[in-house]
Amino acid sequence: MSALMQAPRNQDPAVFGRVAVLLGGGSSEREVSLDSGRNVLEALRSRGVDAQPVDGIPALAQALGAKQFDRVFNVLHGHRGGGEDGIVQGLMEAFGVPYTGSGVLGSALSMDKVRTKQVWLSLDLPTPRYVRLLPGDDIHAAAHALGLPVIVKPANEGSSVGISRVFEDAQLDEAQALAVRYDGELLMEQLIEGDELTVAVVGNAALPSIRIVPKGQWYDYNAKYVAEDTQYLCPGLEGDAEAELGRLGLAAFRAAGCRGWGRVDVMRDRASGQLYLLEVNTAPGMTSHSLVPKAARQLGISFEDLVWRLLEQTL
């Protein structure tokens, strides 16, 4: 925490040169990314940074080819037209342009929830039991093997897109029909009932955790981005439990090859208190409802200061 509380290394916005704020794109998370990008752009400009919006990967490729920017602040969410699957990271590496967030490996691995879980399990990091569902697999047989209740979701989407909670066998077909609207494999996961927690990581530090208390049954897309009655308790836990959660979040982030900044989502089983890793977000939301800025505020770091510090990581 101490390094994070120190003042930013630089005070002159000219040190960043011309900055592209990469936003929008063509993924299922486009609207969230546009919102995040607008906030980041406003924050950078308020501190005198020469920042310009760039919508999507083709526009960025053209701009980098024309040498229009010195660095990129990436808030392009999602995959297949988004900025979290390693593709745009490879593009920026090819042009030699520094950028915020994880590199090719960390981005690609974290976008694939199945492979991320495989890495965690190889290191004895706790994550819910799961079944990987390929086209043609019997979802009812998988649920019987895993045991209800379960979560059914696309393996490569974020922002709670395409996710269903399934408590009865009769709900499985509808859950599958929703999830297959999105590209890639499906993931069926043991449903952990308890506290929804998240740990933001900035540099080498875990920020105070946040416990999410939605008004409805769970933290779905509406609770994340629309509802005004979702509660965010920070820190999410206390004492040794909070310290353990921070250590687990950092271990999970590093195991996935991530760097810079991101967010690790965790469930805490209500009955046992056991923590379970869910996923890593390598370009988290920066909207008015988003969690990384909330955790930073707990340390007295404003949104503008947080954005500045993230951009400093590209120097």
What is the CA angle 87-92-94, rounded to 5? 95
CATH code for the domain defined by 130-190: 3.30.1490.20
Catalytic residue list contains 244: no
pLDDT greater than 60 at residue 5: no
The rounded distance, in Å, linking the Cα atoms of 59 and 65 is 10
Q: Are the CB atoms for 83 and 58 separated by under 8 Å?
A: no
94 burial (CB, 10 Å; 0-12 / 13-18 / 19+) is: exposed
The pLDDT-based confidence of 233 (bands split at 50, 70, 90) is very high
Catalytic residue list contains 263: yes
DSSP 99-130: BSS--HHHHHHHH-HHHHHHHHHHTT-----E
Catalytic residue list contains 281: yes
The whole-number average pLDDT for the span 181-207 is 92
Q: Which one of 99, 219, 225, 276 is the catalytic residue?
A: 225
Catalytic residue list contains 265: yes
Report percent pLDDT > 70 for the chain.
93
Q: Which one of 276, 279, 290, 309 is the catalytic residue?
A: 279
What is the CA angle 158-161-164, rounded to 5? 120
Q: CB neighbours of 264 closer than 8 A, spacing ≥ 6?
A: 198, 199, 201, 248, 249, 252, 253, 277, 279, 280, 281
Catalytic residue list contains 31: no
The pLDDT score that the predictor gives to residue 222 is 55
Least Cα distance to 287 among 19, 37, 44 occurs for 37
Q: What value does the mean pLDDT of the chain take?
A: 92
CATH code for the domain defined by 2-101: 3.40.50.20
The rounded distance, in Å, linking the Cα atoms of 36 and 267 is 25
Q: Which one of 196, 209, 265, 276 is the catalytic residue?
A: 265
pLDDT in tens, 36-45: 999 999 999 9
Q: Could you tell me the CA-to-CA distances from 241 to 73, 118, 276 in Å, in that order? A: 33, 25, 13
The rounded distance, in Å, linking the Cα atoms of 161 and 184 is 13
Report percent pLDDT > 90 for the chain.
79
Q: Which one of 30, 71, 259, 263 is the catalytic residue?
A: 263
pLDDT in tens, 67-101: 999 999 999 998 888 899 999 999 999 999 999 99
Per-residue b or e along 243-280, where b marks 16 or more CB atoms closer than 10 Å to that residue's CB: eebbebbbbbbebbbbbbbbbbbbbbeeeeeebbbbbb
Half-sphere exposure of 205 (CA within 13 A, CB side): 15
Least Cα distance to 99 among 128, 76, 122 occurs for 76
Its pTM surpasses 0.95: no
DSSP 187-224: EEEEPPPEEEEEEEEETTEEPPPEEEE-SSSS--HHHH
The whole-number average pLDDT for the span 16-31 is 94
Q: Which one of 33, 159, 209, 290 is the catalytic residue?
A: 159
The rounded distance, in Å, linking the Cα atoms of 308 and 39 is 12
pLDDT greater than 60 at residue 219: no
Q: Is there a common fold for 110-126+192-303 and 130-190?
A: no
pLDDT in tens, 272-311: 999 999 999 999 999 888 999 999 999 999 999 999 999 9
The whole-number average pLDDT for the span 94-110 is 97
Q: Which one of 157, 285, 290, 309 is the catalytic residue?
A: 285
What is the chain's alpha carbon radius of gyration, rounded to the nearest angstrom?
Answer: 19
The pLDDT-based confidence of 1 (bands split at 50, 70, 90) is very low
The pLDDT score that the predictor gives to residue 104 is 98
The rounded distance, in Å, linking the Cα atoms of 131 and 152 is 10
Domain 110-126+192-303 listed as CATH 3.20.20.30? no
Q: Could you tell me the CA-to-CA distances from 61 to 24, 40, 88, 202, 228 in Å, in that order? A: 14, 21, 9, 27, 37
Q: Is the peptide bond before 208 cis (omega within 30 degrees of 0)?
A: no
Per-residue b or e along 204-242, where b marks 16 or more CB atoms closer than 10 Å to that residue's CB: ebbbbbbbbebeeeebbeebbbeeeebebebbbbeeeeb
Domain limits, the chain: 2-101, 110-126+192-303, 130-190
Q: Which one of 25, 29, 268, 276 is the catalytic residue?
A: 29
The whole-number average pLDDT for the span 250-264 is 98
The pLDDT-based confidence of 157 (bands split at 50, 70, 90) is confident
The pLDDT score that the predictor gives to residue 192 is 95
